[in-house]
Each structure stands twice: as C-alpha cells, then as structure tokens.
Amino acid sequence: MASGSSSLMWFRKGLRIHDNPALEYAARGSDYLYPVFVIDPHYMEPDPNAFSSGSRRAGLNRIRFLLESLVDLDLNLQKLGSRLLVLNGEPSEVLFRCLKEWNIKKLCFEFDTEPYYQALDNKVKKYATAAGIEIFSPVSHTLFNPADIIQKNGGRPPLSYQSFVKLAGEPSWASSPISTELTSLPPVGSVGSCPISEVPTIENLGYEDTEEDDRTPFKGGESEALRRMRESIANKEWVANFEKPKGDPSSLVKPATTVLSPYLKFGCLSSRYFYQCIQEVQRNVKRHTFPPVSLLGQLLWRDFFYTVAFGTPNFDQMKENRICKQIPWKNDDDLLRAWRDARTGFPWIDAIMIQLQKWGWMHHLARHCVACFLTRGDLFVHWEKGRDVFERLLIDSDWSINNANWLWLSCSSFFYQYNRIYSPISFGKKYDPNGNFIRHFLPILKVVDHDLASKECKQILYEAYQLNKRLNGKVSEEDLKSLG
C-alpha cells in the first residue's frame, strides 16, 4: 500500500493523454497515480461460431485496434514517468480490490452515457462514496453534455438535428481552451498483490489472428489518431469544401472521409480537440461549408445521436422504444445470413459486406446501402439483426451512433421516406463504374468478364437469381445480366 495520497485513473474510452480532464485531475496533487485499464470479459467473444449464432460482442478487428491503442497509451504514459496497469475481470470487482489495496483517495474516469456503463458506474460510485473516496467523472467524450441539452428541452431529447443544433448553440466546453500538454505524471505506487499484467496479445484473449495482408489498414492508438487528424486537416481546401453525403464510397486508396471514427469511438482522439482544429481551418479560409454537411457538422451528428440515445429508454430495441416505429419485420435467418456472409449475389452489397469483415470500416454511403438493403429496401429483415452484425464487426462500433443510424436507415425513426431506396445495382455502378471496388473485395469477380463459364461465377449468379426470386422479381433479368 502506498503511504502518500494516491489516485486511480480508470481508462475505458478516452484512451489518450491529450485533452483528458479525468487524467489531469487524477494527477493533480497526488503522490502516486495508478493508471488502470480493465479487460472486461463482457466485451469479448473470440469464438467465431458465436458470431454465426448472433453474438454482438467485439470481433477480431476491434479487439486488435483496442490492444494497439492500449500499447500506445502505455508508451505515452511511460514517456511521462508512468505506465499502464492492465487488469482482468468484472470491472467493479477488480476495482474494489485495487481501491482498497492501494488506499486510493481519488477515483477519476470519463463519464459514459451507455446503459452498460451507467449501471457499472453507479455500482462503483456507490462503493467509492461509502469508502470516502473522492470521485471525478467529467463529460469529455462528446462536445456537449447530453444531460444539459435534454434539460434545456424540458426533459426529453430533441429528435431532429436542426432542433438539436438550435438548442445546443455554441458548445462552451468544446470552445474553451484545452489545457497545456502534460509533461510528467506522478509515479505508480506499489501494486501489492493485485494481479497486474502487460497489455495482452490478441492470442492471449483467445482470438485467432489473420495474416498480415488480410488485416484492416487502420491501426489503433492516440499517436496514429493525431497523425491521421493532422494529415486530414492539413488539406485546408478539402476541410473547407467537405460536404456529406458527397464523396465516393468506393474510394480505396484514399477514403473520401477522415476515417477518424474508430479513434473517436475509443477516445484516442478528443472530439473537442478535433472540433477546435476544424474551427481553426475555417477561420483561415474565405468560404467553407456548414452543418449538417460540413466536417464540423459531422461531429454535431455524433453529439446529436449521443443525446437522443442517452435520453431514450430502450433506444437499442424496437419494442418499448417510444421513438421507434413498430414494423412487422420478417424473421428470416436465411436472408440475414446471405447478407451477413456476403452471399446476396449483388456484387456491390457483397463487396461492402466483405469490406466490413476485412477492414471493420466502410464509407457512410456504403453503410447506407447495405443497411437499406437488409431492411426496408429489399430483404425486410429486422434492423436489430443488422445492428448486431455491425456491432460485432465495426472497429468504430459505437452503441449510440450505430443504433441511431440503424433506426434512421430502416425508417424506424428520424427519417421516414421509406420509398427513397438505394438500388443495389445502379447506385454501385454510379460510383464504381469499372468495378474496381467490387473486384478488390470480391476477387472471384475478377474473372467474370473473361470467364463467365467459371463454376464460382455461375454459383454467384445462380445465388443472385435465387435471391431475386425470393424478392418477388423486384430485380429484372436485365439487371441480373448486367452484374458481370
């Protein structure tokens, strides 16, 4: 047990040193600082068969990204004279033991709006308060405090982006100056008998890794987040003219958007810092785009969805969700599996689903296409099933944003023009006229032009035909022929 005053910084999201109010407060006036990350079994499911039977828990790409982020965090802590202490187990049990054994006087962690963390944090707060431990849990994952917006709106979250932006006004926290970079941290005290480990490998956690060539191109960690963000905003013209939904979803070499979502999800990048960097660019250009389509507007979408999700009971389900339309979705696991395993026979849809499996990230419009296809567009399968697949496979899988977008795309909430559908054929052709994206993720189709007689091609076209039949011939024979 350490004899001076000790504080514990509990990292969950917010895996960064820069602009981290909880970490700064934990360090202030403490003789010892224990930076802790708990590997939570609730989050993991290494068994690929569990995915086939519908597990939403984190898949390989996201766990690898998390571990890379932890290694980077550990290195950055070491540069400041500290290090990351990794523990394993049910987080509250693990923490109670450490708080006691290390005689912690101050417990700091970022506020989290997700129901899982709300329940966990209440338990931890109750214990800490009874033990006389000071708690500091600031809102720093989003630009606004969702609770403030809900309060301003009379206790209910605003349900349109426009009303959110109007209510929110200029984010005072997000516009306030970011404190100067930390140059050192208090040392870690004695860890006693608490079972501390190094950051585990992917194999330690039971996941089977893929070959290097098959891995996602996006590497986790704060250092990569900052590098990536600086690279994006260095192109001032691009930032000034950013306009979503314009942009090519099939762009491979240089994605049309920032690909900062995985870094924002894990808090490797502070949304406030990103917001201020965009503002700085906008101040120095003659003209720029505005919300909702601008880059700054994208961050406001994020905050909007966080606010609605926080203020809506049962947000992640159709039943008993007051903002969700009750739709008699089909319960057809064959169709779900065909979509999930990239076997629909529509190359544009299948290629996007392979990109999801391999990269754990797809462009926004690509997500639109496959989510629309699964739900109201073509297969009429329940949005919750698609949400589960995204939840497991996306690196940026985020409880609030993922559920919100599935509600949107299935016309269950926020957006109701159910007749505005992405064609699984012509939409892809518009952006990928030469089939480069399709051939990249479905290399089997490289041969289609030259060897229509190949067995695999016949199989794919046959499956497309079968599916087409199940869709009551909505897609014409001519469309099918044009797939090659």
Are residues 395 and 358 in contact, defined by beta-carbon separation less than 8 angstroms?
no
Q: Which two tokens stand for residue 418?
A: 């159910």
Nearer to ligand FAD, 18 or 392 (CB): 392
Backbone φ and ψ for 168, nearest 5 degrees, come out as -70, -40
Q: Indicate which single residue of 22, 84, 87, 371 sits in contact with ligand FAD (rule: CB under 6 A).
A: 371
Taking the complex as a whole, the smallest distance from the CB of residue 460 to ligand FAD amounts, in Å, to: 25
Nearer to ligand FAD, 6 or 397 (CB): 397
Are residues 169 and 152 in contact, defined by beta-carbon separation less than 8 angstroms?
no
Handedness of CA 175, 177, 182, 188 (dihedral sign): negative
Does 396 bind ligand FAD (CB under 6 A)? Our answer is: yes
Task: Provide CB contacts within 8 A for 368, sequence distance 6+.
Answer: 245, 409, 422
Which span (16-24, 52-60, 158-166, 394-402) binds ligand FAD, by CB under 6 A? 394-402
Distance CA 376, CA 61 (A): 29
Distance CA 390, CA 340 (A): 9
Indicate the Cα dihedral angle 96, 98, 100, 102, nearest 10°: -160
Q: Which two tokens stand for residue 237?
A: 């013209």
Residue list 242-281, contact with ligand FAD (CB under 6 A): 244, 257-261, 264-265
Q: Indicate which single residue of 218, 301, 346, 427 sits in contact with ligand FAD (rule: CB under 6 A).
A: 301
Nearer to ligand FAD, 272 or 368 (CB): 368
- The DSSP code for 444 is G
Nearer to ligand FAD, 8 or 256 (CB): 256
* Cis amide prior to 245 (ω within 30 degrees): yes
Nearer to ligand FAD, 24 or 398 (CB): 398
CB count in 10 Å sphere of residue 278: 23
- The DSSP code for 482 is T
Whole-number CA gyration radius for the chain:
24
Does 37 bind ligand FAD (CB under 6 A)? Our answer is: no
Nearer to ligand FAD, 301 or 339 (CB): 301
Does 369 bind ligand FAD (CB under 6 A)? Our answer is: no
Are residues 133 and 34 in contact, defined by beta-carbon separation less than 8 angstroms?
no
Taking the complex as a whole, the smallest distance from the CB of residue 410 to ligand FAD amounts, in Å, to: 9
Does 394 bind ligand FAD (CB under 6 A)? Our answer is: yes
Taking the complex as a whole, the smallest distance from the CB of residue 93 to ligand FAD amounts, in Å, to: 29
Q: Indicate which single residue of 13, 57, 272, 302 sits in contact with ligand FAD (rule: CB under 6 A).
A: 302
Does 27 bind ligand FAD (CB under 6 A)? Our answer is: no
Nearer to ligand FAD, 258 or 423 (CB): 258
Residues that bind ligand FAD (CB under 6 A): 244, 257-261, 264-265, 298-299, 301-302, 305, 363-364, 367-368, 371, 390, 394, 396-398, 401-402, 405-406, 409
